[in-house]
Structure 1
Amino acid sequence: MNKQKRIEILTRLRNHNPTPTTELNYTSPFELLIAVILSAQATDKGVNKATAKLFPIANTPQQIFDLGIDGLKSYIKTIGLYNSKAENIIKTCRDLIEKYDSQVPESREELESLAGVGRKTANVVLNTAFGHPTIAVDTHIFRVCNRTGFASGKNVLKVEEKLLSVVPAEFKVDVHHWLILHGRYTCIARKPRCGSCIIEDLCEYKDKTES
């Protein structure tokens, strides 16, 4: 895909949604960090249901740490992999308290040192909580980028590297949200909704649908 086509795609996505953001509910960088850890292999809707009960009770590293693993599990047991997530979150809260004065660090290296935090989670927090031009590539973004030809790659890291190299600076902060929402609601996995897609004429997917 050429540069001109990519810019037109990004421009249309921006015009359609000028101020995109995550669908995870949060009111602080710490709440976002916990929500993103919980969202691995889970839906944002499911995470929001759990955090709606958890955060009013505990929404600081100390408060969640004080719940303990079993106490935390009682709030997140509806979420997949809740056992390992509870253990990781308690470890992360302990490290935030002991090493970072209960504040979420604003560097990739420090974020990735926390339990349960990999590159994708760090990218989401850096982008959404702190406004860094990082791009977190999940299954939706990986699919959209490869299907449309916008940024092809054999794995999520390759797609991330491609996006960072081809997306102009003015679009970088928001492109993660545009692409994930596009993949979640329009360019869906089984049968993309090409007929209602605002970038259909620019997309290079060969097997377009009419609906």
Structure 2
Amino acid sequence: MNKQKRTEIFTRLRAENPNPETELEYNSPFELLLAVALSAQATDVSVNKATRKLFPVANTPQAILQLGEDGLKDYIKTIGLFNSKAKNAIKMCQMLVELHDGEVPQQRKLLEALPGVGRKTANVVLNTAFKQPVMAVDTHIFRVSNRTKIAPGKNVDEVEDKLMRFVPKEFLMDAHHWLILHGRYTCVARKPKCGSCIIEDLCEFKDKTEV
């Protein structure tokens, strides 16, 4: 795919949604960090349902530690893998309090050192909370990047590297949100809705549908 096509793709995505945002509900960097960590292998809807009850009670590392692991489990037990997520969340909060005065660090290396925080989670926080032009590649973005040929790659690291190189700079800050929303609602896994896709004519996917 050439630069002109990529520019037009992101121009259209921006025109349709000028100010894209994550669908996770949060009011601080810590709330976002915890919500993203909880969302691994779970839906944003299920995480929001849990955090709507949790955050009014505990929305800082100190408050989560006061809840304790069992107390936290009561709030997140409807989310998949809640046992391991609660354990990691408590460890993460301990590190935030002990090493960062309860604040969320703004460097990827420091974020990735936190229990339960991988590269994708770190990138989401850096991009969404701290407005850094980085790319968090999840299953939706991986699929869209490969199908459209915007940034094809064999693994998430390869796709991330190509997106960082190929997405025009003016779109880089919001590209993560546009691609994830496009994958979630239009370029869906089983049968993409090519017939109602605003970039269908630019997409290089060979097996397009008429839906």
By the TM > 0.5 criterion, same fold?
Answer: yes
State the shift of 1:115 in Å.
0.4
Cα distance between partner residues in 2 of 1:26 and 1:181: 18
Matches within 5 A, 1:120-135: 120-135=120-135
Q: Does 1:167 align with 2:167?
A: yes
Deviations 1:158-199 (A, max 9, x none): 000000000121111100000000000000000000010000
Deviations 1:131-161 (A, max 9, x none): 0001000000000000111100000000000
TM value normalised by structure 2? 0.99
Matches within 5 A, 1:54-73: 54-73=54-73
Deviations 1:91-150 (A, max 9, x none): 010111111011000000100010000000000000000000010000000000001111
Secondary structure at 1:134 match in 2? coil
In the alignment, which residue of structure 2 is the partner of 1:90? 90
Cα distance between partner residues in 2 of 1:151 and 1:121: 20
How many residues align? The count is 211
Cα distance between partner residues in 2 of 1:196 and 1:168: 25
In the alignment, which residue of structure 2 is the partner of 1:78? 78
RMSD: 0.4
Cα distance between partner residues in 2 of 1:208 and 1:113: 41
State the shift of 1:47 in Å.
0.2
Cα distance between partner residues in 2 of 1:62 and 1:200: 48
TM value normalised by structure 1? 0.99
State the shift of 1:12 in Å.
0.3
Q: Does 1:202 align with 2:182?
A: no
One-letter amino acid of the counterpart of residue 205, structure 1: F
Cα distance between partner residues in 2 of 1:145 and 1:80: 27
In the alignment, which residue of structure 1 is the partner of 2:148? 148
Cα distance between partner residues in 2 of 1:184 and 1:118: 21
In the alignment, which residue of structure 2 is the partner of 1:39? 39
In the alignment, which residue of structure 1 is the partner of 2:177? 177
Cα distance between partner residues in 2 of 1:163 and 1:169: 10
One-letter amino acid of the counterpart of residue 202, structure 2: L
Cα distance between partner residues in 2 of 1:38 and 1:86: 9
In the alignment, which residue of structure 1 is the partner of 2:158? 158
Cα distance between partner residues in 2 of 1:182 and 1:193: 10
Cα distance between partner residues in 2 of 1:21 and 1:56: 22
Secondary structure at 2:201 match in 1? coil
Structure 2 residue runs without a partner (length 5+): none
Cα distance between partner residues in 1 of 2:64 and 2:26: 15
One-letter amino acid of the counterpart of residue 33, structure 1: L
Cα distance between partner residues in 1 of 2:99 and 2:110: 10
One-letter amino acid of the counterpart of residue 172, structure 1: L
Structure 1 stretches of at least 4 aligned residues deviating more than 6 Å after TM superposition: none
Structure 1 residue runs without a partner (length 5+): none
Deviations 1:39-66 (A, max 9, x none): 0000000000000000000001000011
